[in-house]
Amino acid sequence: MRARLLYAVIAAAVLGTAPAHAADTNAALDLVRKECSACHGPRGISVAPTFPNLAGQQAVYLEAQLRAFRDHSRADPHAQAFMWGMAAQLTDAAIRDIAAHFAAQPPARGVSADPAEVAAGKKIYEEGIPAQSVPACQSCHRPGAEGNGPFPRLAGQHRRYLEKQLEVFAVNLRANEVMHATAQTLTALQISQLAAYLSSR
């Protein structure tokens, strides 16, 4: 009798939260359609190179970035201009649902680039630059640049977006100790080569 009563209480609690979560999910996906798609495309593949592709991105990373936009801990100028206002309205549940939505989309395909640039960028990505204390990027972002949990997918990302993020990491406008230490030692040419390789993946 007690077991049946306990089961009924638990079931009622779980089922009682289901409509609320469904409403949150619907609201989050409605936000994707109305707001996110304007810059990032309906499936998370943007047409403007200054806005990142989100399709196939690591959900853990997306959640962290949306929370950082919401609490203003990610404060680079682009984030302030485009993401602070939008993220302010997001609940934790909406953040999880939006991240899961984009993570489930097929990622963008790489675009062709100058073979010499791609080869130079590939070498940096796979081997780092020991003379400049630059570690191999693949040690965190994985050999295929598909990302890993909190480390974002870089493969197929817009070249200009990648270049811009390395630039803001370099001057510490986007706070991340590891990326600041790495990016500040890269030359403009090395940044361009690395971005060319990753955008071609």
State which CATH number among 1.10.10.10, 1.10.760.10, 1.10.1040.10, 1.10.630.10 fits the domain covering 115-199. Answer: 1.10.760.10
DSSP code of residue 56: T
> In this predicted structure, what is the pLDDT of residue 87?
96
The percent of residues in the chain predicted with pLDDT above 90, rounded, is 82
Band of residue 7 on the pLDDT scale cut at 50, 70, 90: very low
Mean pLDDT for the stretch of residues 129-152:
98
> In this predicted structure, what is the pLDDT of residue 30?
83
Contacts of 13 (CB under 8 A, 6+ apart): none
Average pLDDT, the chain: 90
Cβ atoms of 150 and 60 within 8 Å: the answer is yes
pTM for the full predicted model: 0.86
- With the CA atoms of 64, 70, 72 and 73 taken in that order, what torsion angle do they form, in degrees rounded to the nearest 10? -20
Tokens of 92: 């934790």
| CA R_g for the chain | 20
Q: Tens digits of per-residue pLDDT, 24-50? A: 667 777 878 788 999 999 899 999 999
> In this predicted structure, what is the pLDDT of residue 31?
76
Give the count of beta carbons closer than 10 Å to the beta carbon of residue 104.
12
Q: Where are the domains of the chain?
A: 2-103, 115-199
Residue 134 phi, psi dihedral angles, 5° rounding: -95, 115
Whether residue 21 has pLDDT greater than 80: no
Tell me how far apart the alpha carbons of residues 103 and 97 are, in angstroms, rounded to a whole number: 10
Q: Tens digits of per-residue pLDDT, 76-90? A: 999 999 999 999 999
Tell me how far apart the alpha carbons of residues 128 and 134 are, in angstroms, rounded to a whole number: 5
Q: Tens digits of per-residue pLDDT, 185-198? A: 999 999 999 999 99
SS3 134: strand
Contacts of 14 (CB under 8 A, 6+ apart): none
> In this predicted structure, what is the pLDDT of residue 45?
98
CATH class of the domain comprising 2-103: mainly alpha
Fold: same for 2-103 and 115-199: yes
